[in-house]
Amino acid sequence: MSQFGTKFCDSFATVRFEDGAWQTPTIQPLAPLALHPASHVFHYASTCFEGFKAYRWKDGRARVFRLDDHVARMRKSAESLRLPIPEANTLSDMVVDLIAQHVEDIPEPPSSLYIRPTLVGTTPNIGAAAAPASDALLFVLLSPVGDYFSGGVQPLKLLVDDVRTRSTAQLGSTKTGGNYAAALGPTLDAQREFGVHQVLFCPNGDVQETGAANFILLTDDEVITKPLDDSFLHGMTRTSILTLAEDLGYRVNERNFTVTELLEWAETHEAALSGTAAGLTPVGTFVYQGREITVRDGQGGGNTSKLRHALQDVHYGQAPDPHGWLTVV
């Protein structure tokens, strides 16, 4: 299997917003996009996207995980960026119709099909810094991907940054490329200087998230994570893990907590990152103010593994789907 996210199915779905209305979606051969150099997206970052997965079960059909929720989040992102908001049914149908043509391209579990709807402003106007894009392009890409952890799940090392933020307060919950660009420099610097995998952004000591994943703490009977607000992404894997945790009898505690508390709990709590690509990934080490703090024994923990496998069992059809998360294609 090629590197995650670099292989694509040979067709994609597109639809344009022009003259104040969404046009008719089409599925066409995958090809470069033709956009005017003055397109709003190039100059004023009017873009948002989603990332989720479909799995091919033994019956030969595909199951898309939390399609409706991802569509709803993309519509919210579009609204926050003042982009034309895709119609929910249109976007859902684009995803389903495109997957239906590529079910045979979906590798068997634990591999999957990564789905990437993207919305960009296309208005050709370099004087529109204070105006929304009136035209837009929505497209859906499909990428067959392997198991994110081809060598097995390995505990991560995180730099705890109690100064910088991942994003701006008003765009933290928007899934836009600018947020990832903002986190890239600090993450690369931290990787080079401290040998970490990611930066855990904790502005003013408030523990938030890394550049691409939500952050969770776990014990044998409790799951702790920051409550939802506009400063960080409302991850679908995060929400799913919390729901499964309640199903399994854990007490879910959505509360703000500080870097001081985080480091005090390192000896007794498991830590993990949650996200679509990697599911629930254990954290083994924090780096803070030049010193390394081991999380428990540094090897992850049984609660993280238990919840990761509970989520995977739903993905792969090895457990019931009582919450109606799966859409059959």
Element (H, E) at 166: none
% of residues, the chain, pLDDT over 70? 98
Q: Which two tokens stand for residue 326?
A: 């799966």
pLDDT at 150 over 90: no
**Residue 124 gets which letter from DSSP?**
B
**pLDDT of 151 strictly over 70:** no
Average pLDDT for residues 75-93, to the nearest whole number?
Answer: 97
Q: How far apart are CA 14 and CA 39, in angstroms?
A: 17
What is the number of other CB atoms lying within 10 angstroms of the CB of residue 123? 20
Contacts of 167 (CB under 8 A, 6+ apart): 178, 179, 182, 183, 231, 232
Share of the chain above pLDDT 90, in %: 89
Which residue ranges make up each domain of the chain? 11-145, 156-316
Mean pLDDT of all residues in 84-113: 96
Strands 279-288 and 156-161, bridge-based pairing: parallel
Higher pLDDT, 261 or 146: 261
Q: Mean pLDDT across the stretch 126-143?
A: 97
Instruction: Output the CA angle 9-13-19, nearest 5 degrees.
Output: 155
Beta carbons of 186 and 164 less than 8 angstroms apart: yes
316 dihedral zone (left: phi>0; alpha: psi -120 to 50; beta): alpha
Q: How far is CA 89 from CA 75, 139, 216, in A?
A: 11, 14, 33
Span 175-214, pLDDT tens digits: 999 999 999 999 999 999 999 999 999 999 999 999 989 9
CATH of domain 11-145: 3.30.470.10
Pair 161, 201: CB distance under 8 Å: yes
**Which residue's structure tokens are 């051969």?**
29
Cα gap 117→41, rounded to integer Å: 15
Residue 1 has pLDDT above 70, yes or no: no
What counts of helices (H) and strands (E) characterise the chain?
A: 7, 17
Residue 114 has pLDDT above 90, yes or no: yes
CA distance 208 to 227: 9
Q: Residue 96: count other Cβ atoms within 10 Å of its Cβ.
A: 17
Give the pLDDT confidence score for residue 213 in this predicted structure: 94
Region 38-51: mean pLDDT is 98
pLDDT band at 169 (very low <50, low <70, confident <90, very high): confident
* Beta pairing partners, 229: none
* Mean pLDDT, rounded, of the chain: 95
Instruction: Indicate the CATH number for domain 156-316.
Output: 3.20.10.10
Q: What is the mean pLDDT of residues 160-168?
A: 90
Q: Model confidence at 149, in pLDDT bands (50, 70, 90)?
A: low
Q: Can you tell me whether residue 223 is helix, strand or coil?
A: strand
pLDDT in tens, 295-317: 999 998 999 999 999 999 999 99
- Is the pLDDT score of 127 beyond 90? yes
Q: If pLDDT is split at 50, 70 and 90, which confidence band does 3 have?
A: confident
Q: Are 231 and 190 in contact (CB under 8 A)?
A: no
Question: Can you state the angle between helices 67-80 and 236-247, rounded to 10 degrees?
Answer: 140
Structure confidence by residue, pLDDT tens digits, 205-254: 999 999 989 999 999 999 999 999 988 889 999 999 999 999 999 999 99
